[in-house]
A = this chain, B = another copy of it.
Amino acid sequence: MGMVGGGKDAFIGAIHRIAANMDGLIELSCGALSINPEIAKESGKSLFLSEDRIYLTYEEMIQNESVLPADKRMDFLTIVTPNFAHFAPAMAALEAGFHVVIEKPMTFTLDEAKQLKAKLDETGLLLCLTHTYSGYPMVKQAKHMVQNGELGKIRKIIVEYPQGWLSRLSEREGNAGAAWRTDPKKSGKSGSMGDIGTHAAHLAEYISGLKITKLCADLNTMVDGRMLDDDGSVLLRFDNGAVGVLIASQIAAGEENALKIRIYGEKGGIEWAQMEPNTLIVKWLDQATQLLRAGSNYTNTLSSFATHNCRTPGGHPEGYLEAFGNIYRNFALTLSARLENNKPTNEMLDFPTVDEGIRGMAFIDTVVRSNLSNEKWTEFVV
């Protein structure tokens, strides 16, 4: 694995490395870890990279790695730069024949997303999009139960993602992560919806198996001086007739990372909260609520998609890093299977790809259009 971005003190780069390391399947072998050459070098050394594979630009890295023997060069490129700097290294990597892993949102614009799709179709390479939250085993269990019809026809979806970390004008107080995320030149058209709303929308579509068809958005900038929205609420309609609400806020003071989803069907509902991820609450119309637990596979009730993504028995909590690791593990297992001319299992193939990336960019686009419109409903177009 090579990495673009993610120098020391960058939050998400460090997370990607732990997630990739965890299962002993992936090794960081090279990086262009910062646009600041000093930081790039220092970060590379602290990560035990050999000096000749600590690069100063992604172009240099892709070029040099391309000419290494197949068993020496990086297998794929992970891109953890700010949003505006996803597309160029991704396209360059694909053109040089490398698979890519990209942090969400996939690109800066919907058009870029479509270009990546075309290139993938052309090359047959793989793109993995790290929508972390879909890597949790109990999320997969929920998806499985909906798919199996256990809840009946889905009627209502409530997905919320409150955070409080942008309650102050942190971008002016030296918080680098806040600075680029609230800068439309680096982050994109929307702040709250690009950073966390896309996670929420993806989770809703992933578990329910439904597609958003139209929406009504109210985006707001609640902190004076901020350049992008930091809060938004969206009414949703889905392709089976279900309705929904999506809330993404970064000014919900005192909240940490409280992504939560509830999906109700004719027969019952599921509830899953990222901050207590090992429990799936299943509520029924005509029997007692059940708590399904990651790792506790009584009488084989858990889906193979859930158990495949657990490392420990019930009661030994797995968390965010393991969910992130599941995305990497499935991507790596799929790659390995391909290298060995095996067919990857459906469980291995269960990681977000370019299609989810395109829908995420279309979601941002649609929400922003809706916010500017006086019409109640705006069609979701891809």
Q: Which of B254, B269, B316 contacts A283 (CB 8 A)?
A: B254
What 1/0 mask marks residues of chain A from 253 to 293 whose CB sits below 8 Å from any chain B CB? Answer: 11111100010111111000011111000111111111111
Q: A18, A265, A276, A374 — which one has the most chain B CB atoms within 10 A of its CB? A: A18
Asked whether any CB of chain B lies closer than 8 Å to the CB of A83, the reply is: no
Which residues of B sit under 8 angstroms from A245, Cβ to Cβ? 233, 245, 247
State A23–B22 Cα separation when bound (angstroms): 8
Stretch at the interface among A35-43, A123-131, A295-303, A349-357: A295-303
State A243–B318 Cα separation when bound (angstroms): 33
Which residues of B sit under 8 angstroms from A103, Cβ to Cβ? none
Whether A298 and B286, one on each chain, are in contact in the complex, defined by CB atoms closer than 8 angstroms, is: yes
Whether A222 and B156, one on each chain, are in contact in the complex, defined by CB atoms closer than 8 angstroms, is: yes
Chain A residues 227 to 269 lying within 8 A of chain B, measured CB to CB, are 231, 233, 235, 243-245, 247, 249, 251-258, 262, 264-269
Whether B257 and A314, one on each chain, are in contact in the complex, defined by CB atoms closer than 8 angstroms, is: yes
Whether B293 and A291, one on each chain, are in contact in the complex, defined by CB atoms closer than 8 angstroms, is: no
State A313–B257 Cα separation when bound (angstroms): 9
Q: Which of B160, B288, B311 contacts A292 (CB 8 A)?
A: B288
How many copies of this kind of chain does the complex include? 4
State A295–B268 Cα separation when bound (angstroms): 18
Which residues of B sit under 8 angstroms from A23, Cβ to Cβ? 18, 21
Which residues of B sit under 8 angstroms from A256, Cβ to Cβ? 293, 295-296, 313-316
Asked whether any CB of chain B lies closer than 8 Å to the CB of A155, the reply is: yes
Whether B264 and A254, one on each chain, are in contact in the complex, defined by CB atoms closer than 8 angstroms, is: yes
Which residues of B sit under 8 angstroms from A184, Cβ to Cβ? none
User: Top 10 A-B pairs ranked by shortest CB distance?
Assistant: A254-B283, A256-B315, A257-B315, A317-B319, A316-B320, A256-B314, A319-B319, A288-B290, A289-B291, A253-B285
- What would 20 A/B residue contacts be, using CB atoms closer than 8 Å? A155-B251, A162-B264, A163-B315, A216-B235, A231-B243, A233-B245, A245-B245, A254-B264, A254-B268, A256-B293, A256-B296, A258-B315, A275-B317, A278-B319, A288-B298, A317-B317, A317-B319, A318-B320, A375-B375, A376-B376
